[in-house]
Structures are given as C-alpha cells and as structure tokens.
Amino acid sequence: MNIVMLTNTFTPHVGGVARSVAAFTSEYRRRGHRVLVVAPVFRNQPVNETEVVRIPAIQNFNGSDFSVVLPVSGLLTEVLDEFAPDIIHAHHPYLLGVTALRVARYRELPLVFTHHTLYEEYTHYVPGDAPKLRRFIIEAAIRYANLSDQVFAPSESIMTLLRERGVVTPITVVPTGVQTAHFAHGHGGRFRQSVGIPEDAFVVGHLGRLAPEKNLEFMTEAVAAFLKTTSRAHFLLIGTGPSVAVIRKIISREGLDARFHIAGVLEREQLADALHAMDLFAFASKSETQGMVLTEAMAAALPVVAIDANGVREVVRDYSNGRLLHGESIKAFAAALQWMAELPAEQYRDLQRAALDTAEAFSMAHSADKALSCYASLRERMSTDKSEQEEHWHHLLNLIKVEWEILKGIGSATDAALAADEESG
C-alpha cells in the first residue's frame, strides 16, 4: 500500500507523536509498503530524508518547541499525483489535519485519524487560554474524528473517552508499539561514566519532552524529596523542552545540582545506554493518551513509578511492574521511589521481569498488524469503478463538500464553546 502520513510534529521534534509517526513509518517500510510523510519544517531537521515532504512553518510558536505550518495552497498536488496514495492518515485534527481531510475527500480515499493527544491540555501554548478555548478544542477534535473513516485510539482509556464525548466513527485501539530489540541491550555503566554518575548510585530516570503539560514540576519536587533522604540516589533526565529552567531551579533550590544530570536528546544506541543507566523510571504526566515512553523504559527492564491516568493504567500495574499511584502527592511519590530503592535484589528482579513481559505485549509488530489490517479493510470498502469523467466531477463535488464540512465543524465547535462558557458563568 501507499500510505500518506500528515503530522504537525516530526523529527527532530522530541515528543510522542513525532516518535510514533517515525516508528510506524519505519515498520511499514520494512514490510514493503511505501510511506510519504508530510510534516512542517523544523530547525536542524535531517538532510536527505526519504519520501518526506516538508511544509513551510513558523518556528517556536508562542515560545514552544512546536512548528506551525503555513497555508501553502496546491503544494502537495503534484507530489500526491506521483505517489498515488491508497490511505490518508492524519495525526492531528488541526493544521495539516485539515489538509489531510481535504486530500482524502477530494481523492475519495479513506481517512484514518489517530487521536494521539488530549489537545485541551495544550491550550497554554495559545494566547487567551480559557475554559471556552478548551471546550472549542475538544469539540473540534471530536467533530474531526466523526469526519474520518476510522479512528485509532492509542489506549482503551482514550477509546472510552472518545465514545463518551460523542465519537461515532469506528474506533480501533492501536498503541504505538515498542521496538523491544532497540532497548533490550545497552551499556549503562559506560553512560554513567560519561555523565559523572557513580557506578553504585541508584538512578531515577525520565525520558521525554520536558514541557509543562508533562507535570514535570511536580515530578521534580517528588524526586528531589527522595534524593534528600537517599544519599546514593541520582536523577537523570533525557530530553529537552521549555520546562528545563524550572526543573533546574527546583534542583538548585534543594542543593542537589551534583546529583542531577540532563543529557538532552538521544537516539538509538545512546538512548538505550541511557535507559540502561537507570534503575527506575519516574513518570507523572496526566496528559497522555498512551504509555509509549513507559513501554520503551520497560523494554530496558525498568520498573516504573507513575501517577494513574489515561494511557498509563494500561501499562503500569501496581506492585507488579512498578507502582501506580492514585492521587498527586509529593510525599507518596517520593515514598514509592524509596520503596523501590530499598527492595531486596530478588524482588527488584521480579519487577524487571514483569516490565519486560509488559513491553513484549506492546510490541510494534502487533500494533502494525492491527493498523495495516484496518487500512486494507478501508481500502477494500471504499474502492470504486467510476469512469474518468465521473471521477473528475466527484472530485469537484467532494472538494466543495469538505470545505463546507470544515466551516460547519468550526462553527459548531465555536457554538459549543460559547454555550459552555455561558453555563459556567
């Protein structure tokens, strides 16, 4: 099949959606499918990319590390004509998601939408963050889902949430699978030495985009409280983002700079080495739709301490492969880290074995099988035998219809937001 992925985030951006798109793209290509990725321009993006179209974009929108695509009419037409897509897959409902909807309707192709994100948790990046803006974003995403032919939910929790919010389009749970072999082996000792972590230290680690929606201020406060009670403990962060400054401020305030290490963005062997340098993985985000980074950590045999939330509870099992905490308490989170640090060796190895079993259950092979099966079913269902002239008129009609659907969706979401604002007032 020829699959087009349209995403507002892609390499070198650090984040779950970018990594998910890259992971599925790699797996599909490995199986012999062609994949065209349409994504914004990012600073320091890879050179000589294979079948990637970059759209001009505003960099570092509103102080974030996101790029916002500019409307460039007709830029994709020639590329898509040559690529001859079978499936259009949108990874966001906005910006390039709207482009995906137009392309799918005009070309009469199946539109798949992965609801990766709880979009309302990201409104702090937009001027005028307010309850009615959150309502608008929720409604717009749901209406986009209902204009799609198939929705992928990254977890059971998100599928349930989408149904509760009014999505009637067929939904299939397709988490981003972990490439277990990529994380199974690493030189943790070598990495520790490179960043100045003692060989006998107990290392609490975290990997991901370091941004406010990831609840990192809370997590850092909890890790700092743990470090102050355990002299051999160190804190290792992998990633970058706008929350680095507040994390450093907390660590410095507590006098823990010598036991804090931040390694920036790592890939492939270096990333595996960094995960194997950790003894446990800490995670406090409540804005996730799936536990992708958690399964990656578990593939490196890392038990996890996390807060119960959508996408997390499907991965972390309390006292089995880690600790799943109900409620946001610095004291409780620090105590869970302490519990892990004091476990007898055999009990700790039991947690590690359970973590590896969990990672295997979330393998990329399994996830790709589900996604490709859905693609094939959609493609068969929507295939037609129209004449060339009929196709031309259908294309024009569909283009008019989709523009009306976009405008109607924006209007309906606006009405819902204003109505919710009036009720709250």
Closest CA to 37 of 114, 89, 102: 89
Task: Give me the helices (H) in 213-329, please.
Answer: 216-229, 244-253, 268-276, 292-299
Torsion-angle region of 63 (φ positive above 0: left; ψ -120 to 50: alpha; else: beta): left
Q: Give CATH for domain 180-361.
A: 3.40.50.2000
Torsion of CA 63, 282, 186, 16, to 10 degrees: -40
CA-closest candidate to residue 114, choices 146, 83, 92, 88: 92
- For 34, phi and psi rounded to 5 degrees? -95, 140
CATH fold match for the domains 2-177+364-415 and 180-361: yes
* Nearest Cα to Cα of residue 141 among 95, 182, 174: 95
CB atoms within 10 A of CB 24: 25
Residue 59: the pLDDT is 57
Query: Strand pairing partners for 401?
Result: none
Q: 3-state DSSP call for residue 306?
A: strand
pTM score of the predicted model: 0.71
Tens of pLDDT, residue by residue, the chain (425 residues): 999 999 998 887 667 788 899 999 999 999 999 999 999 888 778 888 989 999 886 655 444 444 566 555 467 889 999 999 999 999 998 888 989 998 999 899 999 999 987 766 554 545 555 677 778 778 888 999 999 999 999 888 889 999 999 999 999 999 988 989 999 999 999 999 999 999 999 999 999 889 888 999 999 999 999 999 999 999 999 999 999 999 999 999 999 999 999 999 898 899 999 999 999 999 999 877 777 899 999 999 999 999 999 889 999 999 999 999 999 999 999 999 999 999 999 999 999 999 999 999 999 999 999 999 999 999 988 765 444 444 544 554 555 555 556 555 655 655 565 565 555 55
Which residue's structure tokens are 């399964």?
A: 295
Q: Which amino acid is at 313?
A: R
| CATH superfamily placement of domain 2-177+364-415 | Glycogen Phosphorylase B; (3.40.50.2000)
Instruction: Looking at 254-311, list the stretches that DSSP marks H as alpha helix, in order from N- to C-terminal side.
Output: 268-276, 292-299
Q: Domain ranges for the chain, please list them.
A: 2-177+364-415, 180-361
CA atoms 298, 303, 305, 310: torsion sign? positive
Kindly list the distances between the CA atom of residue 56 and the CA atoms of 11, 35, 289, in Å, as whole numbers in the listed order: 15, 20, 28
3-state secondary structure of 360: helix
Question: Residue 262: CB partners within 8 Å, gap ≥ 6?
Answer: 236, 237, 238, 244, 247, 248
Phi-psi map region of 112: left, alpha, beta (phi>0 left; psi -120 to 50 alpha): beta
Q: In Å, what is the CA distance from 232 to each residue of 228, 309, 333, 341, 342?
A: 10, 30, 18, 10, 12
Distance CA 54, CA 41 (A): 5
